[in-house]
A and B are shown apart, each in its own frame.
Chain A
Amino acid sequence: QKEVEQDPGPLSVPEGAIVSLNCTYSNSAFQYFMWYRQYSRKGPELLMYTYSSGNKEDGRFTAQVDKSSKYISLFIRDSQPSDSATYLCAMSVYNQGGKLIFGQGTELSVKP
């Protein structure tokens, strides 16, 4: 079993839809959770960073962490064509900054 599981998609939605991206993990020692967005042929760009259970909101993006269920989500409201990218979840153990474990990534396409 992989430490981090992410549905690879692809996921196609119409513009304006609410998008839900999800990851599950098996290592209960994970304490830091991140979402990255990666455009084609570019490096991943940090979208959200959180270390506690609950929700964190930034504009149209909401990150949700449920440590009891070992489940994290990223919600995108009012999705735009410019949101079309691959979304990667990542997580790490305390005091091992940088040694991130990544999901496979979910490819998202938002159609105008």
Chain B
Amino acid sequence: SQTIHQWPATLVQPVGSPLSLECTVEGTSNPNLYWYRQAAGRGLQLLFYSVGIGQISSEVPQNLSASRPQDRQFILSSKKLLLSDSGFYLCAWSVRGVGGNSPLHFGNGTRLTVT
């Protein structure tokens, strides 16, 4: 069966510090990978998605970036955090296919507080 791991679960960082969140998927090959952010009381917002190694699409312009160095590894980064970057960051994967859709499967997230 497929599993998705995210770490760390909780993170407190000062404004202006760098960020690196990591996500790995097991039990599947060539997945689509996604980073979502969930702000308190709001729905999920898609930040980045990737259909393959080195292929990143950004949905929201901001001071965050994403990278996919390996097929099942997805990293979310920032050089300098802002207070507004606080939130619950969720990594997700879906089956990559030709046409059609497959639902997303989420990890348990990283709760980031920028102080």
Which of A's residues lie within 8 Å of B, judged by CB? Answer: 4, 6, 8, 31-32, 34, 36, 41-46, 49, 51, 88, 90, 92, 94-100, 102-105
Contact = CB atoms under 8 A, between A and B. Distances in A.
A105 B90 CA distance: 16
Interface residues of B, number: 28
Contact of B41 (A4, A8, A99, A102): A8
Given A45-B106, A46-B104, A46-B105, A98 B41 contact: no
Interface in B1-57: 6, 32, 34, 41-44, 46, 49
19 contacts: A8-B41, A32-B101, A34-B104, A36-B106, A41-B109, A41-B111, A42-B108, A43-B106, A43-B107, A44-B44, A45-B106, A97-B94, A97-B96, A98-B32, A98-B94, A98-B104, A99-B46, A102-B44, A103-B43
Contacts, number: 70
A1 B108 CA distance: 30
Contact of A42 (B95, B104, B109): B109
Interface of A is mostly: loop
A100 B115 CA distance: 30
B112 to A, nearest CB: 13
Given A42-B109, A99-B49, 9 more contacts: A6-B43, A8-B41, A34-B104, A43-B106, A49-B103, A94-B100, A97-B100, A98-B32, A98-B49
Interface of B is mostly: loop
B99 interface: yes
Contacts of B108: 42-43
Contacts of B90: 43-44
Among B44, B97, B99, B103, max chain A CB count under 10 A is at B103
B44 to A, nearest CB: 4
A64 B8 CA distance: 37
Contact of A44 (B32, B49, B99, B106): B106
Contact of A96 (B101, B107, B109): B101
Nearest to B43: A102
